[in-house]
Amino acid sequence: MFSKEQRSKNMRAIRSTGSTLESKVTKELWNRGFRFRKNVRKLMGNPDIAIQKYKIVIFIDSCFWHSCPVHGNKPASNEEYWGKKLQRNVDRDNEVNQYYSKLGWTVLRIWEHEVKKDFEGTMVKITNSIKQSSRSSVVTKGGKKFPQL
């Protein structure tokens, strides 16, 4: 268990964008010929990766911050705060998923442990999802803008 000061220091060091895993995935997608936008703040949920013409958003979710059913755990200290905080993150993820689904977009959520455990398998999953979205997406002439929030 960490002291309050140590936990605060640790949490401040966590980046919300440009994580090592995110960089690894985006670099590999680029090498495979996919073009995308990273960390699009104008889109709901600030997706890690967005491909407008295929109507797909990709989130690389931390096992801790997004309460992974396999590896997510709550800190032992300040349990009430962390329970509410992490549940709100899960609720927000669900809201974002529903938002994009209603717009006809594909939402792909990749767990941190998937990238770490089976990088190539995860990349196949991502590229297959992009290819599937590219076959099913129709971008209209006026479809050059992301959906307004």
Query: Alpha-carbon dihedral of residues 52, 57, 60, 61, nearest 10 degrees?
Result: 150
Rg (CA), the chain: 17
**Per-residue pLDDT of the chain in tens (149 residues, 90 and over written 9):** 556 666 455 544 455 556 789 999 999 999 999 999 999 999 999 999 999 999 999 999 999 999 999 987 888 888 899 999 999 999 999 999 999 999 999 999 999 999 999 999 999 999 999 999 988 765 444 444 444 43
Q: Which domains does the chain have, with CATH numbers?
A: 14-134 (3.40.960.10)
pTM as predicted: 0.80
